[in-house]
């Protein structure tokens, strides 16, 4: 699933290329991707003729603001992609579900093989009632700057395993399986350490590791795994996977101490860690 660095990469590219453009037409090819609407025509009517004013991100959600108090929400789910093409006549990729064409040229395509992602539009003024998931998100580790002391206070309130906490979207928004493992390795902490058990030094290490790991991943334009399902809006893969220290490296030597990287199943998900470097 695309996580914060991948969604932030897409957000920045869209901000450069789409803001200021006016929607000429919208075509829905797959109803499941717009399932929050009673019919595809509802989405079409809300978007056509409106100009894009802003591109924001909240956790793993893309929030595209259009004039007339309309907010287009995009969640990529497990395999979703937003692809930009200059020529709308270019052949469609398999599993293309929504086409947004602009009057100034170019087309944005929502592609999603597994159809867990979605796209929907709502009046911006009705977000609290129509989109309560947004209000339940925790702090944004890149946007919401806080002191490590405040971070430690938040950790101490939750006596739970660190990996479970980092992937809890109600605690911190945008982190998933890949980056929780990479953050914990950078901090030298095990996935099952209780959040309330950390010393002041460990709290500082964890906060620094979280911010630095995510920022570095954004610089590398995210991680594309073996399936290459994550691609940016130009169809290019990210390259942060080459920087992974533990994720997907079971049995390979730790780049810090050379011990074999271990893998455990937690809540049905694989967790990678170094049994020697992480305590």
Residues of the chain with pLDDT > 90: what percent? 96
> What would the mean pLDDT of 194-205 be, rounded to a whole number?
97
pLDDT of 226 > 90? The answer is no
DSSP the chain: ---HHHHHHHHHHHHHHTTT-BEEEEEES-GGGGTTSSSHHHHHHHHTTPBEEEEEEETTEEEEEETTTEEEEEE-TTT-EEEEES-TTSPPPTTEEEEEEETTS-EEEEE-SS---EEEEEEGGGHHHH-HHHHT--B-TTTS---HHHHHHHHHT--SBHHHHHT-TTTBSS--HHHHHHHHHHHT--TTSBGGG--HHHHHHHHHHHHHHHHHHHHTT----TT-----TTSPPP-GGGG-SSTT-TTSBPTTT-PBPEEEEETTEEEEE-TTT--
Domains and CATH numbers, the chain: 4-135 (3.20.190.10), 148-273 (1.10.8.50)
Task: Give the number of residues written for the chain.
Answer: 279
Instruction: Count CA within 13 A, CB hemisphere, residue 71.
Output: 18
The region of weakest confidence among 6-10, 66-70, 127-131, 199-203 is 127-131
pLDDT one-digit tens code per residue, 169-189:
999 999 999 999 999 999 999
Active site annotation includes 2: yes
Which pTM does this prediction carry?
0.96
pLDDT one-digit tens code per residue, 129-182:
999 999 999 999 999 999 999 999 999 999 999 999 999 999 999 999 999 999
User: From the candidates 3, 6, 118, 182, which is the catalytic residue?
Assistant: 3
User: From the candidates 60, 109, 221, 231, which is the catalytic residue?
Assistant: 60
Residues of the chain with pLDDT > 70: what percent? 100
Active site annotation includes 269: yes
pLDDT reported for residue 268: 84
> What would the mean pLDDT of 257-266 be, rounded to a whole number?
96
pLDDT of 253 > 90? The answer is yes
Active site annotation includes 60: yes
pLDDT reported for residue 228: 81
User: From the candidates 35, 150, 219, 269, which is the catalytic residue?
Assistant: 269
pLDDT of 28 > 90? The answer is yes
């Amino acid at each position: 699933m695309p996580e914060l660095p991948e969604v932030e990469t897409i957000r920045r590219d869209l901000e450069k290329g789409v803001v200021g453009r006016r929607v000429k037409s919208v075509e829905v090819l797959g109803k499941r991707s717009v399932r929050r609407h009673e019919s595809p025509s509802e989405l079409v009517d809300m978007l056509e003729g409106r100009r894009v004013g802003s591109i924001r991100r909240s956790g793993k959600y893309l929030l595209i603001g259009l004039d007339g108090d309309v907010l287009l929400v995009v969640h990529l789910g497990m395999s979703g992609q937003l692809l930009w093409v200059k020529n709308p006549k270019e052949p469609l990729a398999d599993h293309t579900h929504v086409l947004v064409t602009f009057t100034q040229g170019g087309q944005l395509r929502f592609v999603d093989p597994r159809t867990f992602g979605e796209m929907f539009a709502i009046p911006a003024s009705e977000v609290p009632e129509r989109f309560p998931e947004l209000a339940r998100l925790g702090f944004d580790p890149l946007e919401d700057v806080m002191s490590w002391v405040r971070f430690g206070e938040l950790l101490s309130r939750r006596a739970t395993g660190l990996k479970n906490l980092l992937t809890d979207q109600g605690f911190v928004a945008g982190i998933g399986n890949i980056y929780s493992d990479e953050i914990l390795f950078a901090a030298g902490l095990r996935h099952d350490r209780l959040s309330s058990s950390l010393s002041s030094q460990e709290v500082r290490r964890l906060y620094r590791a979280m911010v630095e790991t995510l920022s570095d991943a954004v610089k590398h334009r995210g991680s594309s795994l073996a399936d290459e399902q994550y691609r940016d809006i130009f169809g290019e893969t990210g390259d942060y996977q080459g920087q992974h220290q533990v994720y997907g490296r079971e049995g390979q030597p730790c780049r810090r101490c050379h011990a074999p990287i271990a893998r455990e199943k937690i809540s049905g998900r694989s967790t990678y860690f170094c049994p020697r470097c992480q305590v």
